[in-house]
């Protein structure tokens, strides 16, 4: 549905469907926007090592629908997934590309973002003219007309027109997130900088407040000046949508005695959030999943740490209560017959969905999705739909985002026959498998 033809530098089809769980956004009426990241780069190709085997995969999001019917076996609901549309992301202003890095689809008026790691120009990593984009977080505006996307390369937070995919706005993020020495190879970019985001560990998560006025970008790992990858103090960046004003808050990513990368953030209300902490183990990694958990955190009264640096300093000035466990995803899936080896290693997308009724009970829903890295090793993209009630939130008030219905430019409703799926859960118990 992307309309793309031909192949990428690695020989893979340019219209490849996959990686759809890097980000997941509720778009109203059981419709979601599923976000791939920078594209398939697990396959080495001639000359690819200089760009970490990234390609000219055009950045995009896929509009999908979930529908529910009576289940069979132990799960009460069966979930069917349909692909409605694919939207390519572009800029009407010029973008900087490396030699040979401009997408073939470009015109004099439209410049497409791609995953090629060498598509950057002078300046630091926050330069909005750079043509490289590694999308990781996505949310929809309350009017349904635009989409907010966060990325790892900048990090960037851009606002795109939902129907056309054209960039509408670039948010100016704090300079302490930027790296000054850019490189097409992640390892060299890490070694070449002592401050800023860690390569491939940028703004992994994105939340929008239920009232639609505020975004919250979640760094996957601590900044270099805060301990870097493997550190304990991540940053959450608050962005006022109207003014662009920002604040930063510290988040302690330690579970037990181990630090974990943060994959997603989702607003429960205007000050409380669910954050996804995980290891990289499970299906796709050839190992057994150990940590896949959702934690609840309250930013009310949190201290703005924008001008601070250093792990100890950030943790000492958090200014908000410790997080509490909302859901042990691994334990839940184990209880429903999914072994550690079959839990996707990269669960990354999280969104609330529409309420469902099971018998005489009505449940809120939480949808989890994985990034399968476009590889057969990780299997098909999987969606896990989990049911919960207000009591499961431990006293927090659930305020779902209301997104106005906006017709898609074309609706094909193609069933995704190969899209693995696990459906909803009553009282945090899994309801369906496909």
* Backbone φ and ψ of 335, nearest 5°: -65, -15
Alpha-carbon span 243 to 217, nearest angstrom: 16
Q: What is the pLDDT of residue 136?
A: 97
Written as six digits, the tokens of 127 are 């330069």
Cβ 83 vs Cβ 412: under 8 Å: yes
End-to-end CA distance of the chain: 23
Cβ 198 vs Cβ 186: under 8 Å: no
Average pLDDT, the chain: 91
Q: 96 pairs with which residues across the strands? A: 130
Q: What is the pLDDT of residue 322?
A: 72
Matching residue, tokens 């691994």: 330
Cβ 32 vs Cβ 77: under 8 Å: no
Cβ 132 vs Cβ 37: under 8 Å: no
Q: What is the pTM of this model?
A: 0.94
CA neighbours closer than 13 Å in the CB half-sphere of residue 390: 8
Cβ 380 vs Cβ 420: under 8 Å: yes
What sign does the CA torsion over 243, 249, 253, 256 have? Answer: negative
Cβ 249 vs Cβ 309: under 8 Å: no
Cβ 180 vs Cβ 112: under 8 Å: no
Q: What is the pLDDT of residue 375?
A: 79
Written as six digits, the tokens of 117 are 């790691």
Written as six digits, the tokens of 429 are 């118990």
Cβ 209 vs Cβ 236: under 8 Å: no
* Residue 176 CA from chain centroid, whole number: 22
The Cα-based distances of 276 to 14, 76, 113, 198, 297 in angstroms read 31, 26, 27, 19, 11
Matching residue, tokens 């309420």: 355
Q: Specify burial of residue 342 (Cβ count, 10 A radius: 0-12, 13-18, 19+).
A: middle
Q: Please name the helix (run of DSSP H) or strand (run of DSSP E) that holds residue 186, with its range, or none.
A: helix 186-191
Per-residue pLDDT of the chain (434 residues; tens, 9 = 90+): 789 999 999 999 999 998 889 999 999 999 999 999 999 998 899 999 999 999 999 999 999 999 888 877 778 888 888 999 999 999 999 999 999 999 999 999 999 999 999 999 999 999 999 999 999 999 999 999 999 999 999 999 999 999 999 999 999 999 999 999 999 999 999 999 999 999 999 999 999 999 999 999 999 999 999 999 989 999 999 999 999 999 999 999 998 888 888 999 999 999 999 999 999 999 988 999 999 999 999 999 899 999 999 999 999 988 776 789 999 999 999 998 999 999 999 999 999 999 998 888 899 999 999 988 887 766 788 889 999 999 999 999 999 999 998 765 544 333 333 233 334 433 444 544 44
Q: Which residues contact 200 (CB under 8 A, 6 or more apart)?
A: 134, 152, 186
Written as six digits, the tokens of 251 are 């988040």
Q: Please name the helix (run of DSSP H) or strand (run of DSSP E) that holds residue 159, with its range, or none.
A: strand 157-161
CA neighbours closer than 13 Å in the CB half-sphere of residue 123: 12
Question: Which stretches of 36-130 are assigned E, i.e. beta strand?
Answer: 60-70, 77-88, 90-91, 111-112
Alpha-carbon span 403 to 115, nearest angstrom: 29
Alpha-carbon span 326 to 306, nearest angstrom: 28
Q: How do the domains of the chain map onto residue ranges?
A: 23-433
* Backbone φ and ψ of 113, nearest 5°: -80, 145
Written as six digits, the tokens of 187 are 């390892």
Q: What is the pLDDT of residue 180?
A: 98
Matching residue, tokens 């839990």: 343
Cβ 5 vs Cβ 14: under 8 Å: yes
């Amino acid at each position: 549905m992307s309309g793309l033809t031909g192949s990428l530098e690695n020989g893979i089809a340019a219209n490849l469907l996959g990686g759809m769980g890097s980000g997941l956004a509720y778009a109203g009426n059981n419709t979601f926007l599923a976000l791939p990241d920078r594209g398939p780069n697990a396959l080495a190709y001639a000359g690819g090592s200089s760009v970490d085997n990234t390609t000219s995969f055009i950045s995009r999001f896929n509009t999908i629908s979930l529908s529910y019917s009576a289940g069979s076996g132990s799960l009460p609901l069966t979930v069917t997934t349909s692909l409605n549309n694919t939207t390519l992301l572009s800029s009407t202003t010029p973008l900087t590309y490396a030699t040979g890095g401009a997408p073939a689809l470009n015109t004099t008026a439209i410049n497409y973002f791609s995953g090629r790691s060498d598509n950057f120009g002078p300046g630091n990593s926050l330069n909005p003219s750079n043509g490289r984009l590694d999308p990781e977080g996505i949310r929809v505006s309350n009017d349904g007309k635009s989409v907010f996307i966060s990325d790892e390369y900048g990090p960037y937070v851009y606002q795109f027109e939902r129907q056309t995919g054209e960039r509408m706005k670039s948010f100016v993020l704090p300079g302490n997130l930027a790296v000054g020495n850019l490189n097409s190879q992640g390892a060299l970019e890490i070694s070449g900088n002592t401050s800023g985001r860690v390569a491939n560990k940028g703004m992994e998560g994105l939340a929008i407040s239920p009232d639609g006025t505020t975004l919250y970008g979640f760094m996957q790992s601590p900044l270099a000046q805060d301990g870097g990858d493997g550190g304990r103090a991540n940053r959450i960046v608050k962005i006022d949508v109207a003014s662009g004003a920002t604040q930063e808050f510290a988040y302690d990513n330690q579970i037990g005695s181990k630090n974990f990368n943060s994959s997603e953030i989702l607003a429960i209300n205007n000050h409380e959030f669910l954050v996804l902490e995980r290891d990289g183990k499970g299906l796709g990694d050839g190992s057994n999943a150990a940590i896949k958990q959702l934690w609840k955190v309250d930013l009310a009264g949190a201290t703005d740490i924008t001008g601070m640096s250093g792990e100890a300093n950030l943790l000492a000035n958090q200014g908000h209560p410790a997080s509490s466990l909302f859901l042990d995803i691994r334990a839940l899936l184990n209880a429903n017959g999914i072994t550690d080896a079959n839990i996707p290693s990269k669960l990354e997308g999280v969104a609330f969905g529409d309420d469902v009724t099971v018998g005489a009970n009505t449940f809120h829903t939480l949808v989890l999705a994985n990034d399968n890295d476009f590889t057969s090793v990780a299997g098909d993209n999987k969606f896990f739909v989990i049911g919960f009630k207000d009591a499961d939130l431990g006293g927090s008030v659930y305020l779902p985002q209301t997104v106005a219905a906006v017709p898609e430019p074309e609706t094909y409703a193609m069933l995704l026959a190969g899209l693995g799926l696990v459906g909803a859960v009553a009282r945090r118990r899994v309801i369906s498998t496909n």
